[in-house]
């Protein structure tokens, strides 16, 4: 009789120990009673009757999902490999367990297909230059589709866009051609500005004869400094006219 009592007591202790569950602050337990959903419990100490109740733990922290490289064909028919990272968390443990068999695997597969479909609508230049916009587009599509599972997609980041060597060389040639085009445009704009200034200077000099004379004298001074060559410079009559008249008056005398 004593042995039976001790055995029954040990059985009760084992059942009680097996019934106790401790859930951390970031965990919730989805409890089923005879296969039917009963409640979401936690955190802290909860009791789950063995054989009658079952509990599934759900982590409420933000999870990081690494999306493997996907072959993407852009809208301008360029083949690239793109990988990304997805940050998401469970908002509704009940739906995350009941509505989908494995929410981690389901979110991973959905992220891969969404990455290919969204990026396939954009050209290569947009993939390289507008990542923030593409990240937001992918996040919006994922969040809408995972809402039924009680999952919130917080952020999506495209990590790498890998190109083959041929495309890398083509992009480098395009960038070089673009730099050459800009240099020619800048040079042309400089020539245009210089011609406008020269035109303004010519208009000013044409209206002021004395300014033209000073310009001639300045040019003669600059050329005279070069002793390696002989330069014949035509002197306008209006410059030497006053000089000749003064010499003639000196010859005539007072």
pTM above 0.85, yes or no: no
What length does the chain have?
254
Neighbours of 29 (CB within 10 A): 21
Tokens of 4: 């039976």
Cβ atoms 198, 120 nearer than 8 A: no
Question: Does the pLDDT at position 235 exceed 70?
Answer: no
Residues 86-103, mean pLDDT to the nearest whole number: 94
First CA to last CA distance, the chain: 165
CA atoms of 216 and 236, how far apart (whole Å)? 9
CA atoms of 149 and 98, how far apart (whole Å)? 8
Residues 199-217, mean pLDDT to the nearest whole number: 66
Ordered by where they begin, the domains of the chain are 2-59 (no CATH), 63-163 (3.30.479.30), 208-254 (no CATH)
CA atoms of 91 and 141, how far apart (whole Å)? 17
3-state helix, strand, coil in the chain (%, to 5): 55, 25, 20
pLDDT of residue 73: 87
Q: Which residue has the higher pLDDT, 138 or 206?
A: 138
Confidence at 125, pLDDT banded by 50, 70, 90: confident
């Amino acid at each position: 009789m004593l042995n039976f009592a001790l055995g029954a007591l040990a059985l009760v202790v084992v059942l009680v120990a097996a019934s106790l569950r401790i859930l951390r602050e970031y965990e919730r337990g989805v409890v089923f009673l005879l296969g039917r959903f009963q409640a979401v419990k936690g955190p802290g100490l909860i009791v789950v009757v063995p054989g009658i109740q079952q509990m599934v733990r759900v982590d409420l922290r933000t999870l990081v999902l690494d999306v493997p490289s996907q072959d993407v064909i852009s809208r301008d028919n360029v083949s690239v490999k793109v990988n990304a990272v997805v940050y998401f968390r469970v908002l509704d443990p009940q739906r995350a367990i009941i509505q989908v068999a494995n929410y981690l695997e389901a979110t991973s597969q959905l992220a891969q297909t969404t990455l290919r479909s969204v990026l396939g609508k954009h050209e290569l230049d947009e993939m390289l230059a507008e990542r923030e916009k593409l990240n937001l587009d992918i996040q919006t599509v994922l969040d809408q589709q995972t809402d039924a599972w009680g999952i919130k997609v917080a952020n999506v980041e495209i990590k790498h866009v890998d190109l083959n060597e041929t495309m890398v060389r083509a992009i480098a040639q395009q960038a070089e051609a673009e730099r050459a085009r800009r240099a020619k445009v800048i040079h042309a704009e400089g020539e245009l500005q210089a011609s406008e200034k020269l035109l303004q200077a010519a208009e000013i000099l044409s209206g002021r004869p004395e300014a033209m004379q000073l310009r001639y004298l300045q040019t003669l001074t600059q050329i005279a400094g070069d002793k390696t060559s002989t330069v014949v410079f035509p002197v306008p009559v209006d410059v030497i006219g006053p000089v000749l008249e003064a010499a003639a008056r000196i010859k005539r005398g007072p």
